[in-house]
């Protein structure tokens, strides 16, 4: 039997009757855009993460753009983010006219290095060309960034903090979700993410009511929202008022209906993912030079189980020949990509990021992995002596 990198079929088999019923219900009522399931899911998502407001949107990339747009980030502004991440984290920054500033990561967790972040902010301020505005921390591979340290730096320098939790949605640090520290948490429902739908989707979460309202407006072409309308009278339907330049970024009703069913089993799936991770950690051979280490007090959602190996490409080829799928996240850091190489970097460059890019390899990881399958994966790694 072939080994799945992420086994979405096993999850689907578990909740199939509920999914079928949820999809049939949407087909029956026909409200395919902004139907009742969208608001229902937003409430449940907010409840899950202990954040007051959830605004769903079309994907996890737009989710990061929405708060930047709502805050009016633009030309002349600096947005600090890691380079060792999926493109979307940095991509949305130039959309607004602002510039990403790439900061190095910690060697054990792959997440933003707070000391290097602070040094980069100080250097950008001293240079004077850009105004520091926002930090985007990423919960890479599922584990929370060092939010207590990062949020203290943001407060000291008057910067907003976004938690890009596309991979880490559901993760906690000392029992708190990233939104405990971040002004905004964003996530993606791309199918392979820990909480995924059957297509594209995303969400933005915040405790700031005015910000949530502005992002709700922006995702529907800058439509008039309650605070725009309050105390005014109109001689036409205010539905067609466009108060600000927005975009079209809605979560489909069908996807919301599917996500409601997936959210029901999500907490249990995080527990299962952690059991798989623990079993890898206990049984991987010593030839693996680094197994994942989670920040003290942190619980990861294990979007990826990423190890390091001195002969990464040799191991990848050996695994492929043994029928074990693997993947490399990320072979080319953002600050080296041709479209991004001209943007500012933290002082001293990004040596940790560059070293990691040639050593990391991610193993199959999902909540429904059997011991037998995991043993085959571990045996294949043990059998590699390159
Ligand atoms: C997947 C991902 C995104 C973007 O999500 P999409 O839904 O694919 O747009 C953003 N940031 C990180 C870290 C991701 O892994």
Residue 44 CB burial class (10 angstroms; 0-12, 13-18, ≥19): middle
| Region 119-136 average pLDDT | 98
The pick from 190, 219, 259 for probing ligand 1's pocket by mutation, whose C-beta has the most ligand atoms within 8 angstroms, reads 190
Q: Which atom of ligand 1 is nearest to the CA of 188?
A: 7
List residues near ligand 1 (CB under 6 A). Answer: 59-61, 85-86, 88-89, 138, 164, 166-167, 188, 190, 200, 202
| Closest approach atom of ligand 1 to CA 140 | 13
Q: Using CA positions, which residue lies closest to atom 5 of ligand 1?
A: 60
pLDDT over threshold 90, residue 240: no
User: Looking at residue 385, what is its pLDDT?
Assistant: 87
pLDDT of residue 155: 98
Q: How many alpha carbons fall within 13 Å on the CB side of residue 237? A: 3
Residue closest by Cα to atom 10 of ligand 1: 88
Spacing, Cα 136 to ligand 1 middle (Å): 13
Question: Mean of the pLDDT values across residues 62-72?
Answer: 98
Q: 335 CA distance to ligand 1 centroid (A)? A: 17
| Rounded distance between C-alpha atoms, residue 39 and residue 226, angstroms | 16
Please say whether the dihedral angle defined by the alpha carbons of residues 113, 128, 79 and 156, taken in this order, is positive or negative: positive
Asked if omega into 226 is within 30° of 0 (cis), the reply is no
Which pair of structure tokens corresponds to residue 137? Answer: 């921390």
User: What per-residue confidence (pLDDT) applies to 239?
Assistant: 78
CA 383 – ligand 1 centroid, Å: 34
Domain ranges of the chain: 8-266, 268-332+348-382
At residue 234, the pLDDT reads 83
The predicted structure's pLDDT at residue 235: 83
Measure Cα distances from 39 to 2, 171, 191, 313 in Å: 39, 23, 21, 46
Per-residue pLDDT at 1 exceeds 80: no
Taking only the tens place, the pLDDT of each residue in 9-55 is 999 999 999 999 999 999 999 999 999 999 999 999 999 999 999 99
pLDDT exceeds cutoff 80 at 192: yes
Mean pLDDT of 268-288: 97
Here the tokens at position 68 are 């930047």
d(CA 228, CA 245): 14
Cα of 154 vs centre of ligand 1, distance in Å, is 23
Cα–ligand 1 centroid distance for 91 (angstroms): 10
| Probe residue for ligand 1, chosen from 61, 191, 203 as the CB with the greatest number of ligand atoms within 8 Å | 61
Residue 386, pLDDT score:
80
b vs e for 174-206, b when ≥16 Cβ sit within 10 Å of the residue's Cβ? Answer: eeebbbbbbbbbbbbbbeebbbbbbebbbbbbb
- Strands 160-164, 184-188: pairing is parallel
Alpha carbons 213 and 303: distance in angstroms, whole number: 30
How far, in Å, CA of 36 to CA of 261, rounded?
A: 15
pLDDT digits (tens, 9 = 90+) for 193-221: 999 999 999 999 999 999 999 999 999 99
Cα gap 112→131, rounded to integer Å: 20
Q: What is the mean predicted confidence (pLDDT) over 282-310?
A: 97
pLDDT at 263: 98
CA–CA distance, 173 with 164 (Å, rounded to integer) = 15
236 band by pLDDT with thresholds 50, 70 and 90: confident
Residues with Cβ within 8 Å of residue 24, at least 6 apart in sequence: none
pTM over 0.85? The answer is yes
Q: From the CA of 70, how far away is ligand 1's center (Å)?
A: 19
Q: Write down the pLDDT at residue 89.
A: 98
**pLDDT confidence tier of residue 286, bands split at 50, 70 and 90:** very high
For residue 238, pLDDT beyond 90: no
Tens digits of residue pLDDT in 166-184: 999 999 999 999 999 999 9
168: number of Cβ within 10 Å: 31
CB 367 within 8 A of CB 274: no
C-alpha 386 to ligand 1 mean position (Å): 33
Task: Using the atom order of ligand 1, give the atom closest to the CA of residue 193.
Answer: 1
What are the tokens at 331?
């072979």
What is the CATH number that goes with domain 268-332+348-382? 3.90.1150.10
Terminal Cα-to-Cα distance of the chain (whole angstroms): 26
Which CATH number describes the domain made up of 8-266?
3.40.640.10
Confidence band of 233 (pLDDT split at 50, 70, 90): confident
Q: Whose CA is nearest to atom 6 of ligand 1?
A: 60
Q: What is the pLDDT of residues 138-164, one digit of tens each?
A: 999 999 999 999 999 999 999 999 999
Q: Using alpha carbons, list the distances in angstroms from residue 376 to 1, 98, 282, 370.
A: 11, 48, 15, 10
> 131: pLDDT confidence band, cut at 50, 70 and 90?
very high
Instruction: Tell which atom from ligand 1 comes closest to the C-alpha of 61.
Output: 9
């Amino acid at each position: 039997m072939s080994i799945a990198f992420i086994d979405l079929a096993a999850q689907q088999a578990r909740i199939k009757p509920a999914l079928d019923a949820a999809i049939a219900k949407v087909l029956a009522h026909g409200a395919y855009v902004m139907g009742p399931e969208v608001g229902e899911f937003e409430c449940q998502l907010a409840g899950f993460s202990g954040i007051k407001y959830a605004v769903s949107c079309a994907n996890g990339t737009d989710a990061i753009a929405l708060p930047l747009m709502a805050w009016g980030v633009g030309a002349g502004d600096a947005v600090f983010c890691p380079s060792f991440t999926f493109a979307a984290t940095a991509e949305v920054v130039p959309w607004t006219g602002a510039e990403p500033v790439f900061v190095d990561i910690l060697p054990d967790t792959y997440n933003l290095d707070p000391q290097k972040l602070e040094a980069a902010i100080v250097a950008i301020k001293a240079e004077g060309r850009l105004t520091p505005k926002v930090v985007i921390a990423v919960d890479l591979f599922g584990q929370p960034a060092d939010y207590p340290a990062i949020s203290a730096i943001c407060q000291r320098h008057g910067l907003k903090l976004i938690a890009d939790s596309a991979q880490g949605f559901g993760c906690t640090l000392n029992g708190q979700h990233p939104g405990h520290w971040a002004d905004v948490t964003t996530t993606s429902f791309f199918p392979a993410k820990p909480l995924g739908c059957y297509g594209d989707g995303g969400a933005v979460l915040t405790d700031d009511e005015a910000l949530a309202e502005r992002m709700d407006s922006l995702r529907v072409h800058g439509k008039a929202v309650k605070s725009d309308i309050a105390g005014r009278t109109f001689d036409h339907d205010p539905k067609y008022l466009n108060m600000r330049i927005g975009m079209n970024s809605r979560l489909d009703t069908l996807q919301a209906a599917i996500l409601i069913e997936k959210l029901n089993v999500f907490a249990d799936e995080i527990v299962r993912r952690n059991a798989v991770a623990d079993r890898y950690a206990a049984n991987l051979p010593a030839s693996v030079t680094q197994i994942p280490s989670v920040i003290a007090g942190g619980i990861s959602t294990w979007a990826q189980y990423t190890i390091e190996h001195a002969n990464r490409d040799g191991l990848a080829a050996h695994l492929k020949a043994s029928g074990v799928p693997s993947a490399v996240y990320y072979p080319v850091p953002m600050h080296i990509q041709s479209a991004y190489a001209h943007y500012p970097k933290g002082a001293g460059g990004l040596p940790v990021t560059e070293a990691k890019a040639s050593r990391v390899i991610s193993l199959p990881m999902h909540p429904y992995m059997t011991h037998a399958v995991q043993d085959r994966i571990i045996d294949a790694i043990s059998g590699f002596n390159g």
